[in-house]
Copies of this chain bind each other. A is one copy, B any other.
Amino acid sequence: MIDDVTVRGLAGLWVPLLTPFRDDLSVDFDRIADFGRERLDDGCHGLALMGTTSETASLSVAERMRILEVALAAGIAPAQLTCGTGACALPDAVELTRHAVQTGCLATMILPPFYFKGVDDEGCFRSIAAVIERVADPRLRVVLYNIPSLAGVTITPAVVQRLTLAFDEVIVGVKDSSGDPMSTLRLAKVLRGRALLPGTEGYLVGALKSGATGCVTATANVRARPIRELLDDPAAANARDRQAELTAYRSELERDVDIIVACKRVLAARTGHAAWALVRPPLVSP
Q: Which residues of A contact B (CB under 8 A)?
A: 25, 52, 57-63, 88-92, 95, 112-120, 122-124, 126-127, 130, 149-150, 152-153, 258, 280-284
The residues of B that contact A127 with a CB separation of less than 8 Å are 281-282
State A61–B88 Cα separation when bound (angstroms): 11
Determine the chain B residues whose CB is within 8 A of the CB of A58 once the complex forms: 88-90, 113, 115
A123 to B282, Cβ gap below 8 A? yes
Closest to A260 in B: B116
Q: A90 touches which one: B25, B91, B113 (CB < 8 A)?
A: B25
The interface residues of chain B lying within 8 Å CB-to-CB of A116 are 57, 150, 258, 282-283
Q: List 19 A-B contacts (CB under 8 A).
A: A57-B88, A57-B89, A57-B116, A58-B88, A58-B90, A60-B89, A60-B91, A61-B61, A62-B91, A63-B89, A113-B282, A115-B150, A117-B149, A120-B284, A123-B281, A123-B284, A124-B282, A127-B281, A130-B281
Out of B61, B63, B90, B281, which one reaches A281, CB within 8 Å?
A: B90
If A117-B149, A119-B282 are given as contacts, then 17 extra A-B residue pairs at C-beta distance below 8 Å, sorted by A number, are A57-B89, A58-B88, A58-B89, A58-B113, A59-B89, A62-B91, A89-B280, A116-B150, A116-B258, A118-B258, A123-B281, A123-B282, A124-B282, A126-B282, A127-B282, A130-B281, A152-B152
Complex interface: chain B residues within 8 A of A118 (CB): 258
Bound: A95/B59 CA distance, A: 13
The listed residue with most B CB atoms (<10 A of its CB), out of A91, A123, A149, is A91
**Which residues of chain B have C-beta atoms less than 8 A from A152's C-beta?**
152
A-B pairs, top 3 by smallest CB distance, nearest first, are A57-B115, A123-B282, A127-B281
A120 cross-chain contacts in B, Cβ below 8 A: 284
Say yes or no: B88 contacts A123, CB within 8 Å: no
Instruction: Find chain B residues with CB under 8 A from A112 CB.
Output: 282
| Chain B, residue nearest A119 (CB) | B282
What residue of chain B has the Cβ atom nearest to residue A59's Cβ? B89
Task: Give every chain B residue within 8 A of A280 (Cβ-Cβ).
Answer: 89-90
In the complex, chain B residues whose CB is within 8 Å of the CB of A117: 149-150
B-side contacts of A150, CB under 8 Å: 115-117
A58 to B119, CA, bound (A): 14
